[in-house]
Chains A and B, each alone.
Chain A
Amino acid sequence: MAQMNMLQAINQALHQAMSNDERVLVFGEDVGHFGGVFRATAKLQETFGKDRCFNTPLTEQGIVGFANGLAAQGMRPVAEIQFADYIFPAFDQIVNETAKFRYRSGNEFDVGGLTIRTPYGGGIAGGHYHSQSPEAYFTGTPGLKVVIPRDPYQAKGLLLASIRDDNPVIFMEPKRLYRASVGEVPEEDYELPLSKAELIREGSDITLVGWGAQLELILKAAERAAKQGIQCEVIDLRTLLPWDVDSVAASVEKTGRLLISHEAPLTGGFAGEIAATIGDRCFLYLESPIARVCGLDTPYPLALEQEHMANEHKIYEAIVASVQF
């Protein structure tokens, strides 16, 4: 075990994935010699050569299109999109190509080796285009997996599992935690399972569900609620597509209440999917309406970031309201 931050954990995972399998390639804007604008790909080019870790021209559709071709050929590309806000030029390649490659060909061809890494999320004064959480655009696309870690240990284990999974994965990294989140990470190679939620705090009064950086805020709100005698059960979904319905349903059947919180705007956000599914599965167990604490339905603002965000205060208040319903 070693103390490392999330970037170091991701960097170690990439080193191990490339050492372990020579088909793994890492590329994107500024990932080469420079090692990435966040340093996630530091030393990869030095260690594995320019053929396996390289800068691409500044074209997101080109990066993902190129990665689709490489994966179809049998390689295992790990493509980086510099900010999730800039993944939209590649939306067509991801949604119409990546996601449908295996299905449309009758499994004659697939791009299962592909992983797309991208930093996402707000709380860093990033304004409109360095703060977005676009996961729900992808969770509506059959064929993709969407994975989001919450700390360095998760980041390494989930990234290694994503790279080795035989399906295309969009791996979204909470950039607010890149350096802020520090923890114990095993030096050895390990994987954490995809499509498995993790129970990270046990409680009996309400279930709180979230992913990525949002869990830090959810846990703070849960601590505060505990001081008022409210025991929150907290679940990290970890994989949004396909998501672990059973774990969330089992928890809600125990607590009778559910709150989902994410950074992305409320309308069309993934909380809606969870709420509808759990409302359906756990109807007779629910003692209060399912609560969603999310970003406002606005573009991500700069000056009024705190007001916009689904912060711990908003989550705390929603917990109390749910329990007192």
Chain B
Amino acid sequence: MTDNTVRPQAVYQAHLLDGQGSAIPTLKVLQADGSLYPDATLPTLDRDTALKIYRSCVFTRVLDERMLAAQRQGRISFYMTCTGEEAAVLGAAAALEQEDMIMAQYREHAALHWRGFTTEQFMNQMFSNEKDLGKGRQMPIHYGSRALHYMTISSPLGTQIPQAAGYAYGQKMQGQDRCTLCFFGEGAASEGDFHAGLNMAAVHKAPAIFFCRNNGYAISTPTSEQYAGDGIAPRGLGYGIKSIRVDGNDMLAVLAATQLAREVALREHCPVLIEAMTYRLGAHSSSDDPSGYRSKEEEARWQEHDPVRRFKLWLLAQQWWSEGEDEALYQAYRDEVLAAVKVAEKLAKPALDTLVTDVYDQVPEHLQQQLDEVQQQVRRYPEHYPITAGREQ
């Protein structure tokens, strides 16, 4: 049984193909100065939406700056920034409907802000306090929200890719007019789950949008040591998936590509692959120092392509935004984030019984016994358990 639409042409001499001359082009809309490329087509975008996107850019910049500092001060244990990739993440998120599922890797919290995750919710997760939706169980930045259709992040790379295929298949089965957006980095695309997920989605015609943030590095590993082909986008073609490469620092290009991807995914019940070319301006994480593997000159070159500035220049040119409003917005978010830090870090940690709940839907007998033992231990040695000692359980 084959229904492949591509019919191979026969040749009669042995000749190896090397892919040269068939590199995937890059979609661009916005120039560095905020003007449009000649012939470029604008995505669907009204003033309110554009400003909402921009506000999420600024919030993300402020959050990243403040929380990296908070990690340096020892107030939270870990942090990862989105710096340099705000356009890739927000351009994609803004092309979706609110009820489409987002399954992210970890560097996409801008999308969560876009969906309405509050400053307090970000803080509660990072400070793993009792108001954290995740009950303080995962490392900082592993966000998730059922209400906002944002799947809880997990650390193992690429695992969400076949899951997105399954999630999207379920949406299609139930006749929902919804898709699943799956973010991952170019390093994660080397995992077997990338292959498994894209192939499963293609064969089973799942309306998933696979969105690769190709930011040049996986921790210290440059793309030259990650793959030898033409990046990630051509791989989609090998699976029979419609694919596009886009300038990931160009908010309007990412938005245009993802709007088209969503339309095609839902109309044709099929996956789409987007590769957004961008640059990880910050360190990999608060545990990483990029000066050991890349030059200041390289970073400075990419600063020139700052996606937030490029988008702002366009907004200014539309006269939808002003430098005065810009300064006020940064200041307002700085105040808001600082205030939220102060509240979140004072809230209590989750109650002791959350150690054993949610392992299963019900707490099984052996886990209840283990909890009882820990409770007795805390009562006997309260000085060793300052977080839970003396609290009503």
Q: Give the interface centre of A59, A62, A102 by most chain B CB atoms within 10 Å.
A: A62
Of B111-119, B188-196, B229-237, B339-347, which stretch is located at the interface?
A: B188-196
Assess whether A222 is interfacial by the CB under 8 Å rule. Answer: no
Within residues 77 to 133 of chain A, which ones have a CB less than 8 A from any CB in chain B? 77, 89, 92-93, 96-97, 100, 102-110, 112
The verdict on B304 contacting chain A, using a C-beta distance below 8 Å, is no
Cβ contact within 8 Å between B167 and A69: yes
State whether B364 touches A242 (Cβ < 8 A): yes
B156 → A minimal CB distance (Å): 5
Distance between A237 CB and nearest chain B CB, rounded to angstroms: 14
- Pair A70/B366 contact, Cβ less than 8 Å: no
Q: Give A304-318 as 1s and 0s: 1 = Cβ < 8 Å from B's Cβ atoms.
A: 000000000000000
Contact indicator per residue, chain B 142-165, by CB within 8 Å of chain A (1) or not (0) = 101110000110101001011111
Contact B166 A77 (CB under 8 A): yes
Which residues of B are found within 8 Å of A154, using beta-carbon distances? none
Instruction: Report the bound CA distance from A195 to B203 in whole Å.
Output: 37
Judged by a CB distance under 8 angstroms, whether B361 is at the interface is: yes
Q: Does B328 contact A (CB under 8 A)?
A: no
B365: interface (CB < 8 Å): yes
Query: Contact: A65 with B170, CB < 8 Å?
Result: no
Could you mark each residue 182-220 of chain B with 1 if its beta carbon is under 8 Å from any beta carbon of chain A, else 0? 000000000011011101100110000000000000000
Chain A positions 39-60 with a Cβ under 8 Å from a chain B Cβ: 51, 54, 56-57, 59
Inter-chain contact B137/A66, CB cutoff 8 Å: no
Residue from A57, A65, A104, A167 in contact with B163 in the complex, judged by beta carbons closer than 8 Å: A65
Known: A59-B200, A104-B138. A167 touches B169 (CB 8 A): no
Smallest beta-carbon distance A133→chain B, Å: 23
A103 and B137 in contact, given A62-B197, A96-B159, A97-B156 (Cβ under 8 angstroms): yes
Contact across chains for B359 and A104 when beta carbons are under 8 A apart:
no
A108: contacting residue among B145, B162, B364, B367, CB under 8 A: B145
**Most chain A CB neighbours (cut-off 10 Å) among B169, B174, B361:** B169
Stretch at the interface among B58-66, B127-135, B273-281: B127-135
A73 at the interface (CB under 8 A from B): yes
- Identity of the chain A residue whose Cβ is nearest the Cβ of B361 in the assembled complex: A166
Nearest B residue to A93, CB-CB:
B159
Q: Does A271 reach chain B (CB closer than 8 Å)?
A: no
Interface pair A109/B166, CB less than 8 Å apart = no
Contact of B196 among A59, A110, A195 (CB under 8 A): A59
B300 within 8 A of A: no
With A66-B166, A68-B166 as contacts: A106 and B358 at CB distance below 8 Å: yes
Q: Is B171 an interface residue (CB 8 A)?
A: yes
Q: Name the distance in Å between B284's Cβ and chain A's nearest Cβ.
A: 20
Once the chains are docked, how many angstroms separate the CA of A272 from the CA of B180?
44
Partner of B366, one of A107, A145, A245: A245
Q: Does A268 contact B (CB under 8 A)?
A: no
* A128–B132 alpha-carbon span in the complex (Å): 47
**Bound form: Cα–Cα A159–B166 in Å:** 22
The distance in angstroms between the C-alpha atoms of A35 and B197, with both chains bound, is 24
Contact among A54, A65, A74, A145 with B204 in the assembled complex (CB-CB below 8 Å): A54
Least CB separation from A145: chain B residue: B360
| Cβ–Cβ < 8 Å partners of B366 in chain A | 242, 245
Q: CB of B6 within 8 A of chain A?
A: no
A75 interface residue (CB < 8 Å to B): yes
Contacts of B203 in A (CB 8 A): 56-57
| B100 CB, nearest partner CB in chain A, Å | 12
For the complex, what is the distance from the CA of A103 to the CA of B367, rounded to whole Å? 13
Interface centre among A93, A110, A112 (most CB of B within 10 A): A93
* B364 pairs with A65, CB closer than 8 A: no
| Chain B positions within 8 Å of A102 at CB level | 358-361
A64 to chain B, nearest CB (A): 8
Q: Does A289 contact B (CB under 8 A)?
A: no
Taking CB atoms, residues of chain A closer than 8 Å to B159 are 65, 92-93, 96-97
For residue A16, CB closer than 8 A to chain B, the reply is no
Q: Are B134 and A106 in contact (CB under 8 A)?
A: yes
Known contacts A69-B166, A75-B173, A93-B162; is A104 also within 8 Å of B142 by CB? Answer: yes
Q: Are A72 and B134 within 8 A (Cβ)?
A: no
Q: Which of B103, B145, B159 has the most CB of A within 10 A?
A: B159
Contacts of B169 in A (CB 8 A): 66, 69-70
Residues in B neighbouring A68, C-beta threshold 8 A: 162-163, 166
Q: Contacts A57-B199, A105-B144 given; indicate if A142 touches B167 (C-beta within 8 A).
A: no
Judged by a CB distance under 8 angstroms, whether A67 is at the interface is yes
Chain A CB within 10 A, most for which of B196, B200, B366: B196
Chain A residue, CB-CB nearest to B357:
A107
Shortest Cβ distance from residue B22 to the other chain A in the assembled complex, whole angstroms: 25
B175–chain A nearest beta-carbon distance, Å: 11
Q: Could you tell me the distance in whole angstroms from the C-beta of B274 to the nearest C-beta in chain A? A: 19
> Which A residues fall within an 8 A CB radius of B?
25, 51, 54, 56-57, 59, 61-75, 77, 89, 92-93, 96-97, 100, 102-110, 112, 142-143, 145, 166-167, 195, 242, 245-246
> Beyond A103-B359, A106-B135: 9 further Cβ-contacts under 8 Å?
A62-B200, A65-B196, A69-B165, A73-B166, A96-B154, A106-B137, A107-B357, A245-B366, A246-B365
Q: What would 16 A/B residue contacts be, using CB atoms closer than 8 Å?
A: A56-B204, A57-B203, A61-B193, A65-B162, A69-B166, A70-B170, A72-B163, A77-B166, A93-B193, A96-B154, A97-B154, A97-B159, A103-B137, A104-B134, A106-B132, A106-B133
Residue positions of B touching A, CB distance < 8 A: 101, 103, 132-135, 137-138, 142, 144-146, 151-152, 154, 156, 159, 161-171, 173-174, 180, 192-193, 195-197, 199-200, 203-204, 357-361, 364-367
> 9 tightest A-B contacts by CB?
A65-B162, A69-B166, A62-B196, A73-B170, A69-B163, A105-B152, A66-B166, A69-B167, A106-B135
